């Protein structure tokens, strides 16, 4: 599979390679956003001149910064990160930390302290509107992150200032660090809530790339001055059978055996 294809199993394999190399965690929450990122990078994010410092490129804000390995895998596909970055992930002296870091080329926000990344994205969208650049901002938040009050303040602000160049994508995998979202903070119907906050919103299977493509295209095409939202229903740990819907993989590190077994499944996909 050539680089730049954003093929989901290949992206997950890069995530696994990083996690194993760095003996790091947060595999499950990276796997749940792979298709979302693949579709955005393949079809929707305008990258200007194709370089991370291009003045006209769209913004991708990963507010759920603990899922950053999936983003790094995409940046590697673009050639903005190198093989050495992947092999040295989370190691001494590396520029790739375990949470989203704005010092990495193509990363818009330092996040992982949940709740504030969306506010940064709202600010980027507002600045683009006022400057008339035509840039869009895509902000990915976790459903557990939606517990934070700052998220709802940012949503209210976006609707008040008619930021129709903002798209909020909720990774609704129904888990957070310490358990299920239902057990910790019942969220209810997020599409209904987002609509009540002044957004155009749809709900979609977050692993069906065709459905994601349609959803992103449809909400963007509505010329009504409302900000946009897509609730993506996902599976934490998607792509490796023994990780799927098992929240232990939020904090579990790979062993030689689990690494080899996960690679076998991805190679067969």
pLDDT in tens, the chain (269 residues): 456 789 999 999 999 999 999 999 999 999 999 999 999 999 999 999 999 999 899 999 999 999 999 999 999 999 999 999 999 999 999 999 999 999 999 999 999 889 999 999 999 999 999 999 999 999 999 999 999 999 999 999 999 999 999 999 999 999 999 999 999 999 999 999 999 999 999 999 999 999 999 999 999 999 899 999 999 999 999 999 999 999 999 999 999 999 999 999 999 98
DSSP category for residue 108: -
Residue count of the chain, please give it: 269
Element (H, E) at 117: helix 117-131
The pTM assigned to this predicted structure is: 0.97
- 184 phi/psi in degrees, rounded to 5: -90, -45
Is the Cβ–Cβ distance between 149 and 180 less than 8 Å? Answer: no
166, β-bridge pairs: 137
The residues that bridge with 138 in the sheet, in sequence order, are: 60, 167
Among 58, 67, 1, 2, residue whose Cα is nearest residue 31: 67
- Please give the DSSP secondary-structure letter assigned to residue 5: S
Cα(96)–Cα(104) distance, rounded to whole angstroms? Answer: 7
Residue 219 to residues 88, 115, 137, 202, Cα–Cα distance (Å): 39, 24, 13, 8
Residue 40 DSSP label:
I
Whether 4 and 78 have beta carbons less than 8 Å apart is answered as: yes
What 3-state DSSP class applies to 179? strand
Enumerate residues 6+ apart whose C-beta is below 8 A from 73.
11, 12, 14, 15, 18, 34, 37
Complete domains list, the chain, with CATH? 8-241+250-268 (3.40.50.970)
């Amino acid at each position: 599979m050539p680089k730049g294809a954003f093929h989901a199993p290949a992206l997950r394999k890069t995530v696994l390679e990083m996690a194993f190399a760095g003996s790091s965690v947060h595999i499950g929450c990276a796997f749940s956003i792979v298709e979302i990122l693949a579709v955005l990078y393949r079809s929707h994010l305008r990258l200007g001149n194709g370089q991370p410092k291009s003045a006209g490129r769209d913004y991708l804000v990963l507010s759920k910064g603990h899922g950053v390995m999936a983003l790094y895998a995409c940046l590697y596909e673009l050639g903005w990160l190198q093989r050495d970055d992947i092999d040295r992930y989370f190691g001494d002296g590396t520029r790739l930390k375990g949470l989203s870091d704005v010092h990495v080329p193509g990363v818009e926000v330092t996040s992982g302290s949940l709740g504030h990344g969306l506010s940064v994205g709202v600010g980027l969208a507002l600045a683009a509107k006022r400057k008339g650049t035509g840039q869009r901002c895509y902000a990915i938040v976790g459903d557990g992150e939606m517990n934070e009050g700052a998220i709802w303040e940012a949503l209210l602000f976006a609707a008040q200032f008619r930021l129709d160049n903002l798209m909020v994508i909720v990774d609704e995998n129904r888990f957070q660090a310490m358990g299920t979202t239902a057990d910790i903070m019942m969220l209810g119907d997020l599409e209904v809530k987002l609509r009540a906050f002044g957004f155009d919103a749809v709900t979609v299977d977050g692993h069906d790339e065709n459905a994601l493509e349609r959803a992103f295209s449809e909400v963007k095409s509505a010329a009504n001055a409302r900000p946009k939202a897509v609730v993506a229903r996902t599976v934490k740990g998607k792509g490796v059978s023994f990780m799927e819907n098992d929240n232990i993989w939020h904090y579990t590190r790979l062993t030689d055996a689990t690494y080899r077994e996960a690679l076998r499944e991805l190679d067969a996909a």
